Amino acid sequence: MLPKWFTDWNRENPVDIYKPAIIIGVLGSAVFATALLVTWGQPLATDSLQTGPRGTGMKVAKFENELAVPDPTIVDYYTDEPFIPEAGEDLAGDIYENVQVLGGLTDANFNRLMNAMTQWVAPEQGCAYCHAGADEGNYADDDLYTKVVARSMIQMTQNINESWDGHVNAAEVVGVNCYTCHRGQNVPSEIWFRIDPVTESTAGWSSNQNRTTSQSQFTSLPSDALQKYLLEYEQINVHDLDSRVDTQPGDPTWQNTERTFSLMNYFSNSLGRNCVFCHNSRAFYDPVQHTPQWGTAMLGISMVQEMNNDYLVPLEGVYPPERLGPVYADAPKAACKTCHKGYQRPLQGLNVISDWPELATTEAPVYE
């Protein structure tokens, strides 16, 4: 207990202790915040990618802390350096039976690729996922549909790397291989099936739109945009450039415009970018004002159309019923998100072809 004189003195000489405490608290907080910023950096700092001429606002901004977040599937990527072939080595096609695609590889590189494909596509099932007789040493039979599909997918991968360099390697050589889509899963994520109309008891435009579906990205936009534009080669149009065009709701122009919006929304979600990544928002219709990325995207559309029509849809008769679509029993198909998974570049630009020249060409691979 304090002495009486001390209590009397404090009562007769009051002092404002709050103001100094507030000042000390504010200064202390400022010093603490400054120390955090110096140590950890600006948490809300942004970085931008300029996509068009300066002064036009054509840039894509993202928080730096978001850009620094790696694709979580990168850490599980398996790769192995190739074996440099020596003259006179026996080839896989001469050693093994029924090697229809990779017969020109040496034994070491053939088995190296087979092991990698197992890691990329079926790490849990192993060789038996494609080869029914693997446990008995029989790899030749085509008893399992997965082996037939895998053979076609190898050819598709070679074609992508060989014929679509302008899209796949637009920024630098990175290529694609099985892991680009599969990421350690038997069936890649973000494949799609035909679902329009989304109600069995109705047909027409009303049953295709204003329904919450994954293909419309859970918006009220049409659900058949991938079907029309990435499979059926329909032309992507936004609107008629002529004024006072005599159209009514339900006319094809309106429907195609809404389908275009649906496709573009899908594009944005697939790459994690917005409209001005490819377009000048002043003139979406004018290709002269588009960004270089627009050209890359257009090549990507053509590439996916070819993938679906030449490689994926023809496998419909090979798949078992459980692998086909829920409405039309159609083959699984690919689209932008199948590879990109929400990132501007698949696997954030990881080079997945440098160790696998066998998948980069239909000709004899070049080993370095």
Q: Model confidence over 273-310: pLDDT tens digits?
A: 888 888 888 888 888 888 888 999 999 999 999 999 99
Is pLDDT at 148 greater than 90 in this prediction?
yes
Q: How far apart are CA 122 and CA 128, in angstroms?
A: 9
Q: Model confidence over 91-116: pLDDT tens digits?
A: 999 999 999 999 999 999 999 999 99
* 190-340 and 73-187+346-368 share a CATH fold: yes
Q: Model confidence over 299-347: pLDDT tens digits?
A: 999 999 999 999 999 999 999 999 999 989 999 999 999 999 999 999 9
Q: How far apart are CA 296 and CA 169, in angstroms?
A: 9
Instruction: Say whether pTM exceeds 0.75.
Output: yes
Tokens of 207: 């049953």
CATH class of the domain defined by 190-340: mainly alpha
Contact (Cβ atoms closer than 8 angstroms) between residue 335 and residue 300: no
Q: Where does the pLDDT of residue 218 fall: very low under 50, low under 70, confident under 90, or very high at 90 and above? A: confident
Was domain 73-187+346-368 assigned CATH 2.120.10.30? no
Contact (Cβ atoms closer than 8 angstroms) between residue 175 and residue 168: yes
Is pLDDT at 196 greater than 90 in this prediction?
no
Is pLDDT at 201 greater than 80 in this prediction?
no
Q: How far apart are CA 78 and CA 64, in angstroms?
A: 28
pLDDT at 33: 80
Q: How far apart are CA 184 and CA 77, in angstroms?
A: 8
Q: How far apart are CA 248 and CA 239, in angstroms?
A: 13
- If you compute the radius of gyration of the chain from its CA atoms, what whole number of angstroms results? 29
Torsion angle defined by CA atoms of residues 350, 356, 359 and 360, in that order, rounded to the nearest 10 degrees = 70
Give domain limits for the chain.
73-187+346-368, 190-340
Average pLDDT, the chain: 87
pLDDT at 273: 86
The phi and psi torsions of 293 (rounded to 5 degrees) equal: -65, -25
Q: Model confidence over 173-182: pLDDT tens digits?
A: 999 999 999 9
Q: How far apart are CA 55 and CA 77, in angstroms?
A: 41
